[in-house]
Amino acid sequence: MTTEIKTYNFKKGLPQEFEIVDLSKFYKRNFDILTTVHRTGFYQIIWFQNGNPTLWVDFKAVHIQPNTVLFLNKDVVKQLADKTPFEGISILFTDSFYCQTEIDTRYLRNTILFNDLLSVSQIQVQKQIQLFAGLVQQMIGELNHTKDNFQEDILQNLLHNFLLHAERIRRTQGFTEIKKGADLDYVMLFKDLLEAHYKEQKQVSYYARQILITEKRLNQATTKVLGKTPKEIIDDRIMLEAKRLLAHTNESIKEVGFSLGFEEPTNFIKYFKKHALTTPTEFRENLRLD
């Protein structure tokens, strides 16, 4: 166990901040990376073509079936749970690669593929293998082309088509649709702000002010969309990070609390016990006993 969760940033030196990785080769060369808890500072689309591995994503076990495509937002904490061999490909890309226009940015911030507020987003593509395989082959062909003024746009367009086809399929496979409108817009703004400031800002009033709405209006939006109050969502985010650090690092309870904005260890311990019904120390010890 380390003092922090390992974070991998995008590989330097590539023509574009876009890469397609052969998973079976990566598995053989970098088994330790996949089976150790880590984050990535980029987006991942993982197409498991053969095999049945289990992937842990923020304490949720995702049991993979062949031809599952998984969509993982940047900075989620993940770990391959077992040694089950598998084959497939992973598409890796960054904000700076994809977000060439404001429309691109808005799409990436709102697509259900990377922002499913209720679950880890995945699709089954048994009936659409040729479609997605064709798009991937076009991407690989373009990556093998000498870089020119057209390459980035072509790759971004191919990736966008991949995402659009995937989102169409996702909406037919048990997806719980959240009605678009002002409520969802406020929730997405709140979510982005919370991700950036949850360690130092824990008051609903701060986020409402930033969004330029009242606390009551924000409460209406989150309750309608997610069935939770803004305060509950703030607490959920803080507790997720607390559990990540307690489970995957050897930081002291004091250090974990301080990193989350609690100046006094006793305040963090009381807060954690209130929401987890156990102390941070007991939570950590119980994980080690499992």
Rounded (5°) CA angle 64-65-69: 70
Strand 43-50, strand 68-72: pairing: antiparallel
Q: How many helices (H) and strands (E) does the chain have?
A: 14, 10
Q: Which of 164, 68, 154, 161 is nearest to 111 (CA)?
A: 164
pLDDT for the residue 47: 95
| Complete DSSP assignment for 206-255 | HHHHHHTS-HHHHHHHHHHHHSS-HHHHHHHHHHHHHHHHHHHB---HHH
pLDDT for the residue 290: 55
Rounded (5°) CA angle 80-83-87: 80
pLDDT for the residue 173: 84
Distance CA 199, CA 257 (A): 10
Q: Do domains 6-170 and 182-289 have the same CATH topology?
A: no
pLDDT for the residue 13: 85
Fold entry, domain 182-289 = Arc Repressor Mutant, subunit A (1.10.10)
Distance CA 206, CA 259 (A): 20
pLDDT for the residue 10: 92
Distance CA 128, CA 112 (A): 19
**CATH number assigned to the domain with residue range 6-170, chosen from the 4 options 2.60.120, 1.10.3470, 3.30.450, 1.10.10:** 2.60.120
Structure tokens given for 58: 């923020």
In the chain, where the domains are located: 6-170, 182-289
pLDDT for the residue 31: 76
Query: Each residue's pLDDT tens digit in the chain (290 positions)?
Result: 556 788 889 988 888 899 999 988 887 787 777 888 888 999 999 999 998 888 888 888 888 899 999 999 988 888 888 777 789 999 999 999 999 998 998 888 888 898 876 678 899 998 899 999 999 999 999 999 888 899 999 999 999 999 999 999 998 887 766 677 899 889 989 999 999 999 999 999 999 999 999 999 999 999 998 889 999 999 999 999 999 999 888 899 999 999 999 999 999 999 999 999 999 999 998 876 55
Give the H or E element holding residue 85: none
Beta strands across the sheet bearing 18-22: 18-22, 87-93, 43-50, 68-72, 122-124
Distance CA 220, CA 88 (A): 43
Q: How far apart are the first and last CA of the chain?
A: 16
Strand 54-57, strand 78-80: pairing: antiparallel
Query: Number of C-alpha atoms within 13 angstroms, CB side, residue 236?
Result: 13
Provide the whole-model pTM. 0.80
DSSP assignment letter at 126:
G
